């Protein structure tokens, strides 16, 4: 498929085949101006489970690519978390600051039309803010990464660069600060930076572009994806990476690049699985203690991935993918055998 300039571009079906998607649904509502894409990746493990993102995408193609990558990540996240679901994702094209973005009450309204909603506010019978448990899981991931990289999971006096101070980044920052980590932070929104400066006056603030090149032990990306790429990787001065952002590697080869220069990378869909664990638990009657106990296992899963990576001389993202793909393939084989 080519554009008017004769350049080759991937069509929707090409991309679905490339990533293994089952369905992509485009939605438009004239009255409200809604433009949304729903991507269903793989339902081998069970019905698709995933969230909703609103963002001011530059192009429709960028929105589609994000939906495809995020939904695939949800399949892998479900598999690593041990829940019986596949991956799906909705992206809404719009400015989250102008259009307010998505908030809990949006899903309360949606729940009146569909019974398949999770992540509702606690006062409406849901499990509440998933950013708290997501940050908890990332914190556990950072500790496992520190243990692998430095021989101890204590974060005291480690320098950690935190990119993104939104819901997850803010909660993660509190846990890192409590452990005595030295913190360097950034965010594209000044109000987010002001809030953490007022609460934690001992942290260091840098501009969004500076965060990649700061001297640190661990770099923690907690904003948008594709931030580990040809431009940023040469700037990195860290020993390890662990954060909540989805799809941190712009392309798989960037995971190889990190391995080559000796930077330990925590696969994002493992580190940030806490929120998924919470909403999946909600489907069986939410139990906070159980959800946090399961999210704490992110520590053990990452150590397993790191061990496999060393034993088989694989980049960590490949070690994680193989582990997940093996589980999906085995369960798919069992289902085919007993449901044929």
Q: Which residues are catalytic?
A: 89
SS3 293: helix
SS3 108: helix
Contacts of 275 (CB under 8 A, 6+ apart): 51, 119, 130, 131, 133, 134, 137
- Reference 268, options 159, 168, 184, 178; nearest CA is 168
Q: Residue 229 and residue 233: Cα distance in Å, rounded?
A: 6
3-state helix, strand, coil in the chain (%, to 5): 45, 15, 35
**DSSP per-residue string spanning 8-35:** B---HHHHHHHHT-SEEEEEEETTTTEE
Query: Do 285 and 260 form a contact (C-beta atoms < 8 A)?
Result: no
Distance of CA 202 to the CA centre of its chain: 28
């Amino acid at each position: 498929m080519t554009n008017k300039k004769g350049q080759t571009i991937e069509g929707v079906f090409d991309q679905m085949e490339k990533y293994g998607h089952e369905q992509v649904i485009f939605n438009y509502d004239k009255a409200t101006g809604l433009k949304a894409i729903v991507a269903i990746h793989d339902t081998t493990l069970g019905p698709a489970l995933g969230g909703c993102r609103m963002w001011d995408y530059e192009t429709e193609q960028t929105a589609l690519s994000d939906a495809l990558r995020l939904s695939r990540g949800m399949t892998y996240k479900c598999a690593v978390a041990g829940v019986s679901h596949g991956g799906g994702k909705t992206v809404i094209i719009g400015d989250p600051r102008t259009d307010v973005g998505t908030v809990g009450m949006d899903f309360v309204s949606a729940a009146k039309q569909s019974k398949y909603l999770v992540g509702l506010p606690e006062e409406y019978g849901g499990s509440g803010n998933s950013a708290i448990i997501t940050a908890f899981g990332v914190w556990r991931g950072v500790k496992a990464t520190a243990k692998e990289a430095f021989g101890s999971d204590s974060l005291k006096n480690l320098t950690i660069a935190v990119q993104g101070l939104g819901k997850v980044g803010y909660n993660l920052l509190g846990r890192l600060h409590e452990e005595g980590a030295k913190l360097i932070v950034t965010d594209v929104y000044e109000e987010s930076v002001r809030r953490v400066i007022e609460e934690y006056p001992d942290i260091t603030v840098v501009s969004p572009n500076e965060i990649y090149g700061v001297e640190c032990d661990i770099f923690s990306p907690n904003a948008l994806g594709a931030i580990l790429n040809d431009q940023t990787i040469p700037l990195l001065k860290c020993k390890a990476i662990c954060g909540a952002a989805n799809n941190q590697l712009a392309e798989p080869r960037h995971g190889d690049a990190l391995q080559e220069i000796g930077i330990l990378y925590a696969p994002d869909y493992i580190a940030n699985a806490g929120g998924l664990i919470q909403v999946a638990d909600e489907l069986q009657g939410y139990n906070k203690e159980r959800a946090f106990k399961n999210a704490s296992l992110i520590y053990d899963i990452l150590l397993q991935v790191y061990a496999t990576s060393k034993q088989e001389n694989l980049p960590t993202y490949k070690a994680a993918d193989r582990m997940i793909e093996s589980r999906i393939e085995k369960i798919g084989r069992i289902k085919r055998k007993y449901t044929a």
